[in-house]
Chain A
Amino acid sequence: MNLLAAYSFRNVLARRLTSTLTIIGVALVVFVFCAVLMLSNGLRQTLVDTGYEENAIIIRKASQTEIQSILLRDMANVARNDVAVETGPDGDPFATGELLVLINQPKRGSGEPSNVPIRGVGKYSTTIRPNIRLVEGRMWSPGTSEIIAGRKVAENFQNGGVGGTVRFASRDWTVVGVFEAGGSGFESELWGDYDQLAQAFQRPIYSSLTVRVPSQEAFNAMRERLENDPRVTVDVKREKDYYAEQSNFTRTYINVLGIIISIIFSAGATVGAMITMYASVSGRTTEIGTLRALGFSRFTVLSTFLVESVFMALFGGALGILAATFLSRFEVSTTNWDTFAELAFSFQTSWKIVIGALIFAVGMGIVGGFLPAIQASRIRIIEALRAK
């Protein structure tokens, strides 16, 4: 079988131009397939990373996103004082009520406006999310119109960097610091003092309440209590689950479209592989006759051609995957339609995508090679040897 594999492999090399074209075709398809899934995966991963395992988030019932949620303060207080909530560093409940609104700001480069989320935060907002880290400038001074920007906002929006001023709610706000949050969705937000923002927007409410509830049992009990409490109408979710859900709509869009495109594409590439393989068969009629005369079975002939086709497809697939991994250097900043807010994320590979892409490539090779291989295996020895 080693010799046959070598035979198939060398045949790929022998028909260099045609093989190359076929391989490029498969590579293109696999590249698109990977790119789309990596985009979808990157979006999801960024949001999943945004949530913390130990935290829970409370929003108004059925509102789905913080943007649409309105929690009146007394409702938030019921949740804040639930027994499941851990005690914070200052001895009060480890919880933070936050206001999240969207402001329309021009992006760098195109100047097109897009929605930036601005979060009004309280004293525990950074302690409850330990990976928030100021990397440039300073924190805002209390009682002023100062804000800090997530690294991605600073990079992608005009006036997003330290020293920039952003005008909204009849005030000019100065960016005094830039923070990182481990590449999570928070880096696509502006943060400011809750009291200042609630006042400026005249929204004395919370969008969400984030609480620290490390134990799963305690969390389940709290959810049970709050969702049945007549004083409040809220949804209680693990912060990780909540953020993971924030990309469902956009990801479905990317996936549905991506898969439709990949399927149509792969049909094209499969046809290309089939053309090459038919040519390979007809160009080697005598060879096939010789192999058969030497005593190789029809099945062996069929497999060599199939192996040849799969070789090309695997090679193309590997090339496509390799090219796609370079995409992870690129960052995409676009509106997440689930939240209506701009979110920056990068293409992200996963083993699942790589394996899926290889299976996809091999599939194209098998489908493209099967009919020609059948034809090869059916060639009659005498006629093959007589052919010029």
Chain B
Amino acid sequence: MKLLKLIFRNTLRHWLRTSLTVLGLAIAVVAFVVIRTTIDAWYAQAEAASPDRLVTRHAVSLTFFLPVAYAERIGGVEGVNTVSHATWFGGQYIEPKNFFANFAIDHTTYLDLYPELLMAPEARDAFMQERQAAIVGQKLADRFGWQLDDRIVLTGTIFPGDWELVIRGIYTGAKENTDENTLFFRWDYVDERMRQETPGRAGYVGTFIERIDDPTQSAAVSERIDALFQNSIAETKTETEEAFSLSFVAMASSIVLGLKIISIMVIGIIMLVLGNTMAMTARERVSEYAVMKTLGFRPFHIVGLIFGESLFIAAIGGGLGILLAFPLGGLVSIALSTFFPVYSIAVLTLAFAALSSFAVGLLAAVFPALKAVRTPIVDGLRIVD
């Protein structure tokens, strides 16, 4: 249709205003994508969870440890294939702001349970042979410039003292959502020292991780594990890895909710910027619209022109924002890597951003269009700009 040309030329009429509007939209879309991605990052751990893994922790809370001897009894439960354990170590590297996750793990089984941690066979061998060996994620190694065979010292917060480790492996994630910001080292190293210094604390682990034969049986297997330790000093709580991860998100639900509200407010800002431009545009063209009506153009033609222009600007702004979100999201990801090991933009977020831009394009045109249609021709002609 020829009117498309008119729409296109109208948008270029105030090229400065149109560019500013497009810029404003693009910025807001970037903000939207960044915030939604931050929300997703909270859920990343849960997304990466495997359905055939269960996590068992102390029923009172995660800060209580379980006797390592439980491993054998859990291993005997029907449906459990392999048992491993991991303990949140909470070690600090040089100073508190260098925070990253570090776990003391059962080196004999843990890596088998987590096939998504990819590393060279030599790394695996070194890890098996050397008590002070550590394996770190690629992103973590990049963050501190660690190389293979570097010696690092973690200061214990939960386990007192300085802990010397040798980096023997750097792993990459098999999937995009695999956490590459974690350090793993051997639990027997910790336990050995505990035995010497505070024997009362030796032989305890934070969580057990089980691989089960049949993911559909996870509820039943969980119940069987917990039943084993009912009414003992250390009762357990077993749940799927996903539920375990989601419980952390639930703890921060207020913050996640806040982010969700802010992401909706961003759409409000897009709305204001585009609405402002469209209102101005329509006001300036009142007499033009009146002329077109005099020529016999019908209200739907005028409405089409206004909606077309609004949608056109929204599409360009939204598209530009989506393109810009990738490099800018990368910067944010670096700024927030302490908090979120996994930070990647989801297709759904982009789709939602595109959809929101479209909706805003429609909404911004409603009032100007109504006004243009409702202004009597005679009044429209009388306004000389």
- Tell me if chains A and B make direct contact, with any CB pair below 8 A: yes
Chain A residues whose CB sits within 8 angstroms of the CB of B92 once the complex forms: 62
A17 is an interface residue with CB less than 8 A from chain B: yes
CB distance from B91 to the nearest CB of A (A): 10
Chain A residues whose CB sits within 8 angstroms of the CB of B359 once the complex forms: none
CB distance from B371 to the nearest CB of A (A): 10
In the complex, number of A-B residue pairs with CB atoms less than 8 Å apart = 165
Contact A268 B28 (CB under 8 A): yes
Chain A residues whose CB sits within 8 angstroms of the CB of B338 once the complex forms: 252
Closest residue on chain B to residue A19 by CB atoms: B276
Contact A272 B273 (CB under 8 A): yes
Q: Which of B155-163, B182-190, B211-219, B295-303 contacts A (4 or more CB under 8 A)?
A: B155-163
CB distance from A24 to the nearest CB of B (A): 6
1/0 per residue A7-49: CB within 8 Å of B?
0000000000110011011001100100100010000000000
B252 is an interface residue with CB less than 8 A from chain A: yes
Contact A265 B269 (CB under 8 A): yes
Q: Among B27, B96, B158, B250, which residue has its beta carbon within 8 angstroms of that of A114?
A: B250
Q: Among B60, B259, B269, B275, which residue has its beta carbon within 8 angstroms of that of A269?
A: B269
Q: How far is the CA of A115 from the CA of B252 in the complex (A)?
A: 11
B220 is an interface residue with CB less than 8 A from chain A: no
Contact B269 A29 (CB under 8 A): yes
Q: How far is the CA of A272 from the CA of B272 in the complex (A)?
A: 8
1/0 per residue B70-94: CB within 8 Å of A?
0000000000000000000010100
A257 is an interface residue with CB less than 8 A from chain B: yes
A104 is an interface residue with CB less than 8 A from chain B: yes
A134 is an interface residue with CB less than 8 A from chain B: no
B385 is an interface residue with CB less than 8 A from chain A: yes
Within 8 A of A (CB), among B257-299: 258-259, 262, 265-266, 268-270, 272-273, 275-277, 279-280
Q: How far is the CA of A112 from the CA of B254 in the complex (A)?
A: 12
CB distance from A113 to the nearest CB of B (A): 6
Contact A25 B62 (CB under 8 A): no
Q: Known: A18-B279, A260-B332. Contact between A272 and B24, CB under 8 A?
A: yes
Q: Among A104, A261, A275, which residue has its beta carbon within 8 angstroms of that of B24?
A: A275
A342 is an interface residue with CB less than 8 A from chain B: yes
Q: How far is the CA of A278 from the CA of B20 in the complex (A)?
A: 10
Q: How far is the CA of A76 from the CA of B255 in the complex (A)?
A: 37
Q: Which of A136-144, A175-183, A301-309, A329-337 contacts B (4 or more CB under 8 A)?
A: A329-337
Chain A residues whose CB sits within 8 angstroms of the CB of B20 once the complex forms: 271, 274-275, 278
Contact B158 A170 (CB under 8 A): no
Q: Known: A22-B276, A257-B38. Contact between A275 and B254, CB under 8 A?
A: no
B30 is an interface residue with CB less than 8 A from chain A: yes
A103 is an interface residue with CB less than 8 A from chain B: yes
Contact B279 A113 (CB under 8 A): no
Chain A residues whose CB sits within 8 angstroms of the CB of B339 once the complex forms: 253, 256
Q: Known: A102-B61, A113-B250, A170-B231. Contact between A68 and B157, CB under 8 A?
A: yes
Q: Known: A32-B262, A265-B31. Contact between A104 and B157, CB under 8 A?
A: no
Q: Among A67, A112, A249, A278, which residue has its beta carbon within 8 angstroms of that of B16?
A: A278
Q: How far is the CA of A207 from the CA of B251 in the complex (A)?
A: 23
Q: Among B16, B30, B233, which residue has its beta carbon within 8 angstroms of that of A170?
A: B233
B253 is an interface residue with CB less than 8 A from chain A: yes
Closest residue on chain B to residue A114 by CB atoms: B251
Chain A residues whose CB sits within 8 angstroms of the CB of B61 once the complex forms: 101-104, 115
1/0 per residue B116-142: CB within 8 Å of A?
000000000000000000000000000
Contact B253 A170 (CB under 8 A): no
CB distance from A72 to the nearest CB of B (A): 8
Residues of B within 8 A of A (CB): 16-17, 20-21, 23-24, 27-28, 30-31, 34-35, 38, 59-64, 90, 92, 96-97, 99, 155-158, 160, 198, 201, 231-233, 235, 237, 247, 250-255, 258-259, 262, 265-266, 268-270, 272-273, 275-277, 279-280, 332, 335-336, 338-339, 384-385
- 12 A–B contacts, CB within 8 A, in A order: A21-B272, A65-B157, A102-B61, A103-B60, A114-B251, A248-B96, A256-B335, A267-B27, A268-B24, A271-B24, A334-B252, A388-B385
Residues of A within 8 A of B (CB): 17-18, 21-22, 24-25, 28-29, 32, 35, 39, 60-65, 67-68, 70, 101-104, 110, 112-115, 168-170, 201-202, 233, 248-249, 252-254, 256-257, 260-261, 264-265, 267-269, 271-272, 274-276, 278-279, 332-335, 337, 340, 342, 388
Q: With contacts A62-B155, A110-B250, A168-B59 known, what are 20 further pairs, Cβ within 8 A?
A: A28-B272, A101-B61, A102-B60, A102-B63, A104-B59, A112-B253, A114-B250, A169-B60, A170-B232, A257-B336, A264-B30, A264-B31, A265-B266, A272-B273, A275-B24, A275-B280, A278-B16, A278-B20, A279-B17, A388-B384
